[in-house]
Structure 1
Amino acid sequence: MKKLLSILYTVWCGMVFVIPFLFFYPFIYICIQNKGWHRFGHKIIRFWSQIFFILTGMIIQKDWKFRPDKSKTYVFVANHFSYLDVAAGMNIVENYFAYVGKSSVSKVPLFGYMFDQLHIAVNRSDKDSRTKTMLRGIRALKNGRSVFIMPEGGIVSKNIPKMAQPFKDGPFIMAIENKVPIVPVSYLNNYELNPSNFFFWGLPKVIINKEISTENRTSKDIEALKKEVYDVIQGDLDKYYGLEKTEYLG
């Protein structure tokens, strides 16, 4: 019975994801055609995300240890154990931001085009792609647009809820280069609600942690910053699951 309910709920989640997207896509497409309208496209996508979580009954439980100023620029970083994380980030973060995500998303019909135009796709196996991604992220921050990155480099952990190590350097270089704060975001149970391709009903829990300043930081501080962010997010996960503290192995 549990498996049947999961299948039915997964079908419902798929419908709630796809049908509103197809309805909103023409408006998103129009916004994509003019860079000055990209911000409006972002707002439409955020509204679509809100509809998804409302209609699926997965109302996100947000623990605000810090409320980002919507007029300021940040680098948001989060653990990444589930496909649900991306939609949750769009729902949680009120700032105008660009996701940095894997280039394979670009192959998805319609959605891929939207992602390519409004966000930043990266092929992590291609050095040139990684360099271009870094430059695009730095440019977005210089233009006052926040960036959201999962520093594990994808859903790669072999020991969930322990994060994969070491973190990628990208988000920390971007933050230091632009002297913008890093905001660690902890997704506590998304992977329980969306393991692989199935959905189970529940309430996603997320912690938006206090900003970490990058003022007076240089490239020599990257490893220290990575450890600081890891300790914050993994500390939240360890506390939630009653696990022992894990040291960051940079």
Structure 2
Amino acid sequence: MNKFRRVWGFISSAVAGIFYNIDYEQPIDWKRTYIICPNHTSNLDVSSISVAIKNNICFMGKDELLDGLVTGLFFRTIDIPVNRDSKMSAFRAFKKASERLQEGVTMVIFPEGTITDTFPPELYSFKNGPFRLAIEHKIPIIPVTSLNTWKILWDDAAKFGSKPGVCNIFVHKPVETAHLTVDDADALRDEVHSIIKQKLEQA
């Protein structure tokens, strides 16, 4: 399913004249399990992450994606839907994420929890969930900065449409968590937020 999503994301984007340029801060050991934390400004972010991340991945995303023709296929099989308005749904989703991590599956969690409502987009504050999860499992976090996907297609393109172009994605080096405790979750959250914010400001 991940191979299919990777190929589908590349081909469906290419047909629209959209391509992905992926830069890595350093070589990544794809044999390890990670939690991927990208900023979120576009529906293209899922395709870009699928292209950039080379191991077996599972997305956590809003349960509305179950209704999509293509996204529904993945969220009924390998991904984890969550109702953002339900604490019970969030609890169950993170429990499933914990199980996937124990199975060696890399989780992709957008820590902003949503696509920004402002245009041009701003980086929202991050939620704690993925950082507590990383610390509990002693799993590194990989911050990913989507530099300009919003310029190609903001949100779902309903308001401004889309245009051909190259989406520039920067994959940062892993942030290790083995030395941290749950009490460090806020500091880890702020560190990852700062890493992505600085990269956006540089761009």
2:44 maps to 1:84: yes
Using CA pairs under 8 Å that are at least 6 residues apart, name the structure with larger relative contact order, 1 or 2: 2
Match of 2:180 in 1: 217
Whole-angstrom distance in 2 between the partners of 1:121 and 1:160: 27
Do 2:42 and 2:149's aligned partners in 1 also have CA atoms closer than 8 Å?
A: yes
In the comparison of the two structures, how many residue pairs are matched? 199
Deviations 1:48-69 (A, max 9, x none): 1122233333221111103322
TM-score (norm. length: structure 1): 0.76
Structure 1: gaps of 5 or more residues: 1-40, 241-250
Displacement of 1:110 after TM fit? 5.5
Q: Which moved more, 1:142-151 or 1:42-51?
A: 42-51
Match of 2:141 in 1: 182
Q: 1:59 to 1:109 in 2, by over 3 A?
A: closer
Deviations 1:6-56 (A, max 9, x none): xxxxxxxxxxxxxxxxxxxxxxxxxxxxxxxxxxx2211211112223333
Deviations 1:83-127 (A, max 9, x none): 111111111111101001000111224631432211011111101
Q: Which moved more, 1:111-120 or 1:168-177?
A: 111-120
Q: Secondary structure at the match of 1:46?
A: helix
Match of 2:98 in 1: 138
2:157 maps to 1:194: no
171, 184, 187: which is aligned to 2:130? 171
Deviations 1:165-204 (A, max 9, x none): 2x11111111111111000000000001002321111110
181, 193, 198: which is aligned to 1:230? 193
Do 1:184 and 1:208's aligned partners in 2 also have CA atoms closer than 8 Å?
A: yes
Q: Which moved more, 1:47-56 or 1:219-228?
A: 47-56
Whole-angstrom distance in 2 between the partners of 1:173 and 1:116: 26
Structure 2: gaps of 5 or more residues: none
Whole-angstrom distance in 2 between the partners of 1:42 and 1:93: 10
Whole-angstrom distance in 2 between the partners of 1:68 and 1:145: 15
Whole-angstrom distance in 2 between the partners of 1:82 and 1:111: 14
Do 2:10 and 2:19's aligned partners in 1 also have CA atoms closer than 8 Å?
A: no
Within a 5 Å distance, the mapping from 1:12-91 to structure 2 comes to 41-91=1-51
One-letter code of the match for 2:57?
Answer: F
Deviations 1:184-226 (A, max 9, x none): 0000000010023211111100100011000121111111011
One-letter code of the match for 1:107?
Answer: D
RMSD: 1.5
From the two aligned structures, give the one with the greater helix fraction. Answer: 1
One-letter code of the match for 1:150?
Answer: F
Q: Secondary structure at the match of 1:117?
A: coil
One-letter code of the match for 1:180?
Answer: I
One-letter code of the match for 2:32?
Answer: K
Match of 2:170 in 1: 207
Whole-angstrom distance in 2 between the partners of 1:189 and 1:110: 24
TM-score (norm. length: structure 2): 0.92
